Structures are given as structure tokens and as C-alpha cells.
Amino acid sequence: MAGSLPVSPLAPARFPDLPVVAGVEFAAVAAGVRYPGRTDVMLARLAPGSTVAGVFTRSATRSAPVLDCQAKLSVESAGTTGAAILVNSGNSNAFTGSAGEGSVQAICEAVSAAAGVPQERVFTSSTGVIGERLPHDRITAKVGELVSALAADGIEKAARAIMTTDTFPKGAEAIVETSAGPVRIAGIAKGSGMIAPDMATMLVYIFTDAAVPQPVLQSMLSGLTDVTFNAITVDSDTSTSDTLLLAATGQSGAAITKADSADGRAFSEALHGVMLDLAKQVVRDGEGASKFVEVQVTGAVSDADAKKVAMAIANSPLIKTAIAGEDPNWGRVVMAVGKSGAEADRDRLSIRFGDILVAENGWVAGSYNEAAGATYMKQAELVIGVDLGLGSGSFTAWTCDLTHGYISINADYRS
């Protein structure tokens, strides 16, 4: 389906110029996994000594590739060997029983032999239709071609190969100065629907040329996921296939050995920026989306309560359809706060649309003008602010509106 949909009106002007990250090469091919002639498989090969960290869906029906990656990362450590990541779109290899496990093994064996990396350091991901056997022979037949085409500047082709209902490829980058010189970070992602925290139907791959011990890399990644990829939602549905892998090749000569060092903090801040950029691009490509919405919650008794409120607002079909209709229906925000399960007090609650104070002290604000609210809702990018007036807890979430386009895309998904 990728490429058949009009590009999201919220899309960036173009794919960014990503820096070449020493120690990683990319290739992409058309294997016909689901659609003939479509580029649908990508391979990334990592230099010897690279470390890999990962975060995955917490779905109880995780796919065979996710389970395999989790098992491998439970014993992951840097070594003298390289590593590889192979991703296909068109078929998620989820809910396919032992056949799914066999497909993963066949692909890992083929990549291991052709790319010269141990099978236990081959990580795979699959995205697409659930419940259909993966025609892995179409992928293994292309592995030799993929290895031959590996190139340091092939990351954009890789980003395009992993798209499903995405309308644009997603990339983000950062270059951070450390005491040992510059460190480069480049990442790609796919995601458009079946997006909700506990990750989403997202595949994300981020690469850096810093040298980072695996435990440090994993700790950074897990912490930053909570305020990036676990702070977005398109439709409140959590996928079987969510995978986020972060690889550090160590080729720059800069070592990040402690997260709380000056270099560690600078690197973490840059990584946060890349992850948040990619997460927001996923929302901007939400299926059928016409509005990008930031939900800012402050004044909660705790950050956890603030997140409950933010996600209740961001996931509400009533709020999302009102936004699509450009209706400043603030009563629906009140509803979402009340149903969230967080502590709230009607008479301390305040609501804003952008800089417009809409409600306070248990009632509509005396200064609020409905026409001003309606005008604000016509913008493509919106901010809904809620202050609970109870404490210092805060959380920010990002979402999009819910339009008829979402229904059309998902009604026709398998056709």
C-alpha cells in the first residue's frame, strides 16, 4: 500500500540529509513479499564490536521476529564479530505459529552466511498483515543481492523499504560534540496506524558511531522511549510487531561509558532529539491525519497521573473527531480528564487551546470567545493544555485527529 496513498499534509518537505554513520551499511531490494515490484526488504550490516539495544511491544501476541530479537538481546554483548538487521514489509510474520519461527530461522541463516555475521547476531523485523505465513523464500532469495548492494549512504532506501501505510519515509539525525570529537546519530522509522504506547506498529532503527557499552545503551534507550515513542498515539491500538533497535558501532573513537558523564548527558540529549523527531513524524503520518496535536498536562499530583490524563485526551475518539471537524468542543476534554483515573478537582482544572484560556474554576472562562476557539481549531498544528492545579506532575503526549480517511485506509488494508 505504501506509495498508493497521498502524502500526509503534515509531512516534512523532504527526507532529511542524514550523516553517514561509520560502521553501518544499508541495502534495499524488491522481493515481492506482498506486492510485486515494490521495494520491501532492507538489510543493515554493522561493523565488528557494535553493541545493540532494543525495546519491543509488550503485546501478549508478539510476532516471531520480536520474540527472536528479545531472546538474542537478553545475551547481547559486543564482540569481535559484526551484526546485521533485516527488515521486511508487507507481512508481519505474526500469529503464524511454528511456521513463523521457521521463517525467522531461515532468514537468519541466509543473512549469516551471506553477510559473514553469526546467526545469533542477526536481528529481523517484519511488518504488515497479521496471520499470514511469511513467504520467506522470496526474502532469502534476495539476500545475496542485498549484501552485494550494501553501501554506507543507503539509509534513505532502507527507510522506504520498511513502509506499509506510511505516506513518507521517516528519518532524523544529530551530531553531538564530545570530549573525543563529534558523534553522529542517524535514525529511520516506519509507522502510520496501529499506533499506541507500549510502542506501536512501529519499526525504528537508530545508529551511532559512538562506542557505548550495551548496558548503558539499553538503559538510555529504555528511559528515553517512555517520553518519545511511548508518548504518542494515533488510534490507541498496540501492534504485535513493534521493534526499536539502537546500534552503536564505536567507529568514531568517542566512548560513552557512563550515562551521567558530561559526554553521556550530551549524547543522551541528542539521542532524545532524534527519537522524539521520529516519534512525531509517525504521528504526522497518522492514517488519514489532517491535524497534529500536542497535549500538555501540568499540575497533576504525579507524572504518572499527568500521563493518564494526557493519554485519555489523546486517545479519545470524541476529541479526535471534534478536532477533525475543527470544533472547539472543550467539554470533551473535561470528559477525558474525568475518565482518565487520575486525581482531579473540577474547581481547580483549567483548559487552554494554544494561548486561549477556555475553562477555569469549574466553568467556562469569562474571557473565552467561541469564535476565537473555532478559528484556532482551523490550524494544522494544535496544542491542548490542561492544568489540574493539584501538584507538580507533568506529561506531554502527541496525537492526530481522526478522519474518514482512517476508516478508508483500514477498511481496504488487505485488498
Binding-site residues for substrate, please?
Answer: 164, 190, 201, 287, 410, 415
Q: H/E element holding 185?
A: strand 181-190
Q: H/E element holding 364?
A: strand 363-364
Residues 285 and 11: beta-carbon distance below 8 Å: yes
Return the amino acid letter for 346. R
Return the amino acid letter for 149. A
Residues 314 and 200: beta-carbon distance below 8 Å: no
Instruction: Please give the Cα distance from 241 to 201 (Å, whole number).
Output: 6
Is 201 a known active-site residue?
Answer: yes
Residue 152 carries which DSSP code? Answer: T
Residues 369 and 279: beta-carbon distance below 8 Å: no
**39, 51, 57, 201: the active-site residue:** 201
Residue with cell string 482551523: 378
Helix, strand or coil for residue 234?
coil
Q: H/E element holding 405?
A: helix 404-411
Q: H/E element holding 108?
A: helix 97-115
Sheet containing strand 363-364, strands side by side:
363-364, 356-360, 350-353, 381-387, 292-300, 393-400
Residues 239 and 212: beta-carbon distance below 8 Å: no
Residues 191 and 286: beta-carbon distance below 8 Å: no
Report the DSSP beta bridge partners of residue 25.
Answer: 45
Of the candidates 250, 236, 143, which has an alpha carbon nearest to the alpha carbon of residue 207? Answer: 250
Cell of 229: 515513542
**For residue 408, is it left (φ>0), alpha (ψ between -120 and 50) or beta?**
alpha
Residue with cell string 528479545: 70
Length of the chain: 415
Cα separations in angstroms, 368 against 45, 114, 327, 345, 379: 57, 66, 15, 21, 18
Residues marked as catalytic: 201
